[in-house]
Amino acid sequence: MPKLIEHVDAIARKLKRDVLYLEFPKAQRLRRADYRNLNSRQRIMQWLDSEGIGWRECAQVASETVMRSYAGEIFIDVPFDETDSQYRKLQAFLEHADGTSRFDDVRFFVVSLALAMKNAHHDEPGFWDRWADHF
């Protein structure tokens, strides 16, 4: 059954803040549906659930020139704030002390509100319908 997955930049605009999300490059290289079988993704989702940290599937930053299928990306509902205990716990789980990833096949990103606002016109009613008419 189809489901609507929000772009991470739209999430940032709705929350009016920088947002965190994960990409899984291995899933992007393989068949897209294989993201469900990635051990790292499953382990991260289980850890987020066990810690009571909200998350949901999201799409990469929206583009008017590139179409991508979903490859397992995850928005993590923790503010990007190095003084926040939940953020520090998340960062310690995902990264070593030197900032390198604990998972070879995971990329941990911050999407700034400033970057997200560059796509604010995407929120105008009918934008994507008009865009599709000219695709």
φ/ψ of 15, rounded to 5, equals -80, -15
Average pLDDT of span 103-121: 95
Average pLDDT of span 22-35: 75
What are the boundaries of each domain within the chain?
8-133
Residue 53 has pLDDT above 70, yes or no: yes
Average pLDDT of span 2-17: 93
> 21 or 35: which carries more pLDDT confidence?
21
What residues contact 12, with CB distance under 8 A and at least 6 apart?
18, 19, 111, 112, 113, 115, 116
The per-residue pLDDT for range 57-89, each reduced to its tens digit, is 999 999 988 888 888 999 999 999 999 999 999
Residue 93 has pLDDT above 80, yes or no: yes
Region of poorest pLDDT, from 1-5, 37-41, 125-129: 1-5
pLDDT for the residue 1:
61
The CA–CA distances, whole Å, from 80 to 37, 45, 47, 85, 112 equal 28, 18, 18, 11, 9
pLDDT for the residue 33:
61
Average pLDDT of span 25-54: 86
What does pTM read for this prediction?
0.89
Do strands 74-76 and 55-57 pair parallel, antiparallel, or not at all (unpaired)?
A: antiparallel
pLDDT for the residue 29:
67
**Can you spell out the DSSP letters for 22-38?**
EE-HHHHHS-GGGGGG-
Average pLDDT of span 7-29: 92
